[in-house]
Structure 1
Amino acid sequence: MTQLALFGGGEDGPSGLRYTDDFINAAIEQDLIDRIAALPLQRFQFGAFEGNRRVASFGYRYDYALQRLAEAEPIPDWVTPVARRVEAWAGLPEASVRQVLCTEYEVSVGIGWHRDKPHFDKVFGLSLGSPCKFRFRRRSGDRWERHTLEALPRSLYMMDGEARSVWEHSIPPVEARRYSITFRTMKRT
């Protein structure tokens, strides 16, 4: 497994962004894709708007109408082993991942600029099926500082620190169907 060093900042990328290729093998990837495709995925709802990507949340989900976290179905047994591997890779205690989001992006679907909700702490993304450009930006005076990470199939990224709290991220419309599993830890209160 190849692991890139923690990015420093500026041209090297956001501080707190960590990435590795081939986090899982092709057989596990296909099994995860099949399981996500079999879920009762729903269009992503944020307030009065509906996103084109289809999702299923486990553990917790953010309720945009109530503007708070709500409990969701428990994290499925089939995703737990991958969550444990994510925690080990990040050096986190077991059961640190408390929220899982499974997402399907059809061709030409992306996600706009945003930061994950402040209720969450570390955010991990497992890319499945096809690559995507994972874009980052932050305001620097009167311009935007930008960084793009090519997230390959079977790769894992982690956003922590500034990559998580200062930089926004987005995915432009994908060129082929893509799936992802997002794993989130909870912010301590």
Structure 2
Amino acid sequence: MTGQLALFPEDRPDGLQYAAEFVSPLLERELIGRISALPLQPFQFGVFEGKRRVASFGFRYDYTLQRLQPAEPIPDWLRPLIEKVEAYGGPPTQIAQVLCTEYEVGVGIGWHRDKRHFDRIFGLSMGSACKFRFRRAVGEKWQRYTLEAAPRSLYMMSGESREAWEHSIPPVEAKRYSITFRTMADRKS
């Protein structure tokens, strides 16, 4: 397991920010109710189907076509929350894509980077805590960092944390919901 050893395990990736208690417990319950009422579908990546269930708004990435496709418009009930996320991100943050996700007990997400079409990534964690893991190759070893994402917290990935690090979530121990907010990259897709 020499390739799995951590180098500098306490170093938070540059560009990773975290805000505890970003929303109130009351708003968290309301948002979970809204997400639960959505027509959530298993996450599709090509011919494979993930165990988490999702609903995309604004845009969705089509793994078969390997490009962004239009999705349902962002619902009005998300607008006040988007304004709060955009204020947290500062000017000129403009959220263009939203992904609502439901993780049942035992479901996680493997190592990945969000698609290059997106720039900054914000994630609101709800329902239960999760370990939000980061890794990047340093020679033949991995540099690792784990963010303990508490319910109602928001993280933001930009810069190196977004471009040089992969992230994953191990299987959750209790039902979890998340709302991912993405800004668009300047490059053309």
Q: Same fold (TM over 0.5)?
A: yes
Counterparts of 1:162 and 1:49, CA distance in 2: 29
Partner of 1:176: 174
Q: Shift of residue 80 of structure 1?
A: 1.1
Match of 2:143 in 1: 145
In the TM superposition, what is the alpha-carbon distance from 1:10 to its structure 2 partner? 6.6
Number of paired residues? 180
What's the counterpart of residue 118 of structure 2?
Answer: 120
Deviation at 1:184, TM superposition (A): 0.0
Unaligned runs of 5+ in 1: 1-8
Name the stretch that deviates more: 85-94 or 65-74: 85-94
Q: Provide the C-alpha distance between the structure 1 equivalents of 2:74 and 2:11, rounded to a whole number of angstroms.
A: 34
Q: Look up the SS of the partner of 2:42 in the other structure.
A: strand
Q: 1:39-188 counterparts in 2 under 5 A? A: 39-93=38-92, 96-188=94-186
How far, CA to CA, are the matches of 2:10 and 2:128 in structure 1? 25
Tell me the distance in 2 between the aligned counterparts of 1:114 and 1:171.
10
Q: TM-score, normalised by structure 2?
A: 0.93
Measure the CA separation in 2 of the matches of 1:162 and 1:171. 19
Q: Which runs of 5+ in 2 are unaligned?
A: 1-7
Structure 1 position 48, deviation (Å):
1.0
Question: What is the aligned partner in structure 1 of residue 5 from structure 2?
Answer: none
| Whole-angstrom distance in 2 between the partners of 1:113 and 1:103 | 17
Relative contact order, higher structure (CA 8 A, sep 6+): 2
Q: Name the structure 1 match of 2:3.
A: none
Cα distance in 2 for partners of 1:151, 1:10 equals 17
SS at match of 2:10: helix
Mapped partners of 1:160, 1:93: distance in 2: 14
2:29 equivalent in structure 1: 30
CA RMSD of aligned residues (A): 1.1
AA of the residue aligned to 2:64: A
Work out the CA distance in 1 between the residues paired with 2:46 and 2:121: 22
Q: What is the TM-score with the length of structure 1 in the denominator?
A: 0.93
